[in-house]
């Protein structure tokens, strides 16, 4: 999942660069510019849901690791 998060961050950064490029070349009112702007700046609910989903994934990963550590510890204590 770390690589997926890294990929999403890189895609976000590239979209910011696309907006800056379009604006600097007087293409502020084009359909492409509007589409990129919508994804970056006007999808608040989607961004919030995505962040929540990632946070739940991280918490689940932590829970699994803790359970694995506890299981290993119990096993080591038996021997």
Q: Where are the domains of the chain?
A: 1-42, 46-79
Q: Kindly provide the residue ranges of all beta strands, DSSP E only, lying in the chain, ordered along the sequence.
A: none
Report the b/e string of 4-43 with b at 16+ CB within 10 A. Answer: eeeeeeeeeeebeebbeebeeeeeeeeeebeebbeeeeee
Taking only the tens place, the pLDDT of each residue in 56-77 is 998 999 999 999 999 998 888 8
- pLDDT tens sequence across 7-34: 989 999 999 999 999 999 999 999 999 9
């Amino acid at each position: 999942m770390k690589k997926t998060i890294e990929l999403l961050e890189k895609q976000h950064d590239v979209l910011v660069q696309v907006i800056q490029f379009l604006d600097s070349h007087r293409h502020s009112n084009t359909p492409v510019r509007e589409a990129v702007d919508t994804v970056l700046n006007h999808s608040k609910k989607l961004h919030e849901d995505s962040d929540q989903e990632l946070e739940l994934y991280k918490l689940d990963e932590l829970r699994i690791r803790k359970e694995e550590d506890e299981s290993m510890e119990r096993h080591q204590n038996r021997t």
